[in-house]
Chain A
Amino acid sequence: MELILSLGIGVMTGSGVWLILRPRTYQVIIGLSLLSYAVNLFIFGVGGLKVNAPAILTDGVAVSAYSDPVPQALVLTAIVIGFATTALFLVVLIASRGLTGTDHVDGREQSQ
């Protein structure tokens, strides 16, 4: 499970980094989304991976039987904030497309 998770994070981060370095705004936004998914998984992972472990305490159960609730709370916040800022970025991206007539990140096509 650790291997799959870390591979998943790695692949998404790699693709994300590659995409945000591309010249098209659409590629940039997809890259940022992929990166934020990778980061969300990463945050989730720092709490330690556990299967079928609840995060809510009940009496008489050893602490080691729980999963860490803090990263879950953090990841929830990060998802919400990431979602909102991506939506905002999308608006700017469309405005830029409308104003410049191109989807190049510099607002103009590179001269050939």
Chain B
Amino acid sequence: MSSKIYDFSSLTGSIDAALNSWMSPGLAVLTELVIIGLVFLIFYALLGLFLVYLERKVCAVIQNRVGPNRVGKWGLLQTIADLIKLLMKELIPIRKADHLLFVLAPFIVIIASFMAMGAVPFAKGLHVLDFNIGVFYVMAVSSLGVVGILIAGWSSNSKYPLIGAMRSGAQIVSYELSVGLSLMAIVVFSGTMSLSGIIESQADGWWIFKGHIPAFIAFIVFLIASTAEINRGPFDLAEAESELTAGFHTEYSGIKFAFFFLAEYINMFIVAALGATVFLGGWMPFHIGNWEGFNQVMDYIPSIVWFFTKTFFIIYVIMWFKWTFPRLRIDQLLTLEWKFLLPISMFNILLIAFLVLMHWHF
């Protein structure tokens, strides 16, 4: 049934074979690493630019405005113009800052999101790192970003960044629990932690449909908690403009600021990709049980299209949150996590374990 879908591993396999026939195996591996790195860098930059553009357009339409429409067709070149502006800006050195950490912090944030990106399955066979603990790896690596934020706040030697960074620390440490538990719900359902295994287990229906109401609750909890984890939307306390000027990146300028900005948007993509993979079937087309005809029609849509459609749907929902809700206070933020999301997701995972034990899921 799934064999109809084009498998990218035939393409990557042929490139691997060609490289191995031209050069020694060690050199071939090195070349592949360089190629993958370059492809990811370009993808990273283009995705960042596009997400910023998309955010501004979605925000504009929600607020009954037009959004960027002057630079290029429909304003498509606006973010490129912004990038050029940021590249030309001066990098202002802070006199009493901790210089090494100050320079290091944006790179830690960006490396964390880069590492998480490696484990995202983009299409059938298009998967850089397929660990058997994929979910665990993405969780572990994406929470490294908070170290960069804390370092940025500490090394700036200024009160606003420090307050922003401390808030961010408290926020991410708390919401990590709910993200973990809601992802664990689907791990219990599918019985595997590898992302490719989770996708394969959704060949006869996505977990959000197969997992009854508990999977849906887990999806909602995941959406809320991951929005908090990427410091966005109603949970952007770490950089609350009206209170802390710009939060942890107040003292950063030019391209170092752009790194934080870019990492924030890429983290949104990673979170959305993870949610799409775990709850909405990743690149797996929309299949219903054993309706062979319907499933075959769905297979004609390429798997990469399915993946990006689902991911951008979740990105849209996260943007929808941001442009609808007012920012929470820090105590309301922690109340939401510890009094509501965490008990709900803990009860939810018990319910799911019971469902799986009784074989009540499809």
A and B assemble together: no
Residues of B within 8 A of A (CB): none
Residues of A within 8 A of B (CB): none
